[in-house]
Amino acid sequence: PVYSCSFCPLLFFLDLSGKMFTFPQQTNSAHVKMSLANQCYQAVTVCHRSVTDLKRDHALFSVSTPSHDNSFLVFWNNGVQEMQTYVKTAVVGYGGWDYKSNKWHSICTTWDSVTGLGQMWFDGVPSIRKFIRSGESITGQAIVILGQEQDKHGGGFDINQSFVDVHMWDYILSPCEIQNYMENLHFTPGNVLNWNALDFDISVRLTLHDKLKCVCLRLFYLL
């Protein structure tokens, strides 16, 4: 089944196992928005799978608060070919990833406010840990937007992407748990955002449909 919405905000609370969000065209208003219940995050782990054919800068996961548009942002900088993590005004880049268009990528990003260290896992490969920002938590009513950098709190969009398996934790997920997520094995679902029980609203030209699956039959011949 395919659920579509055109110019109509809707609220959902669904188990999205086996489903994916698709934004079939670039607009300045298409979005998936989720409001977070907690008011303070001292650590963050975010995991998601996405695919796009964009060949320019674009955001993948954005958390904004009233005081910071980019309290936590996962962003692809096409100019320098880096996946970047923003924590408020601080940013670090992770280079060397083979971020191909029209290919599903699994990405997990972590940050700890005590040490200030962040790390990214890209298709099962961990980056080195880098210092981003320390001594400050993410506080205030947080809004999560998939696929968009938030130029203002909860708004400012331009997207052409698909997303599945979005999870967020308020602690640093262990390397084993992250690897299990990457390999589609059993892992602890997000305690902040859980793809299997997601509370969200959508508006303007968004589809929620079955994730594409391909079952290949292998033939064996005896010579």
Domain that holds residue 155: 2-210
Residue written as token pair 């594409």? 212
Residue 215 lies in a domain: no
Statement: residue 154 has pLDDT above 50: no
Residue 220 lies in a domain: no
Cβ proximity of 117 and 44 under 8 Å? no
Statement: residue 177 has pLDDT above 80: yes
d(C-alpha 44, C-alpha 155), whole Å = 22
Residue 219 lies in a domain: no
User: What average pLDDT does range 5-25 have in this prediction?
Assistant: 47
Of 113-117, 122-126, 156-160, minimum mean pLDDT range: 156-160
What does the pLDDT look like over 47-69, one tens digit per residue? Answer: 999 888 888 888 888 898 988 88
The domain that holds 37 is classified in CATH as 2.60.120.200
Residue 12's contacts (CB-CB under 8 Å, 6 or more residues apart) are: 198, 199, 200, 201, 202
Residue 70 pLDDT: 86
Statement: residue 173 has pLDDT above 70: yes
Distance from chain centroid for Cα 191: 15
Task: Provide the percentage of residues in the chain whose pLDDT is more than 90.
Answer: 44
d(C-alpha 143, C-alpha 197), whole Å = 17
Residue 221 lies in a domain: no
218 compared with 134, residue with greater pLDDT: 134
Q: DSSP class of residue 68?
A: E
Query: Mean pLDDT over all residues of the chain?
Result: 78
Residue 191 pLDDT: 92
Residue 38 lies in a domain: yes
Residue 223 lies in a domain: no
15 falls in which pLDDT band (50, 70, 90)?
very low
- Tell me, what amino acid is at 200? F
Statement: residue 222 has pLDDT above 70: no
Residue 180 pLDDT: 96
Strand partners, 144: 34, 63
Residue 52 pLDDT: 84
d(C-alpha 10, C-alpha 184), whole Å = 30
What pTM, to 2 d.p., does this model score? 0.77
Query: Strands 125-126 and 117-122, how do they pair?
Result: antiparallel
Residue 218 lies in a domain: no
How many domains is the chain partitioned into structurally? 1
Residue 118 pLDDT: 98
Cβ proximity of 208 and 20 under 8 Å? yes
Statement: residue 165 has pLDDT above 60: yes
Burial of 137 (0-12, 13-18, 19+ CB in 10 A): middle
Alpha carbon distances (Å) from 70 to 13, 38, 165: 25, 17, 22
d(C-alpha 147, C-alpha 108), whole Å = 15
User: What average pLDDT does range 193-220 have in this prediction?
Assistant: 58
| Helix/strand/coil percent split, the chain, to 5 | 5, 50, 50
**84-98: b or e for each residue (b if 16 or more CB lie within 10 Å)?**
bbbbbebbbebeebe
147 compared with 191, residue with greater pLDDT: 191
User: What average pLDDT does range 182-203 have in this prediction?
Assistant: 82
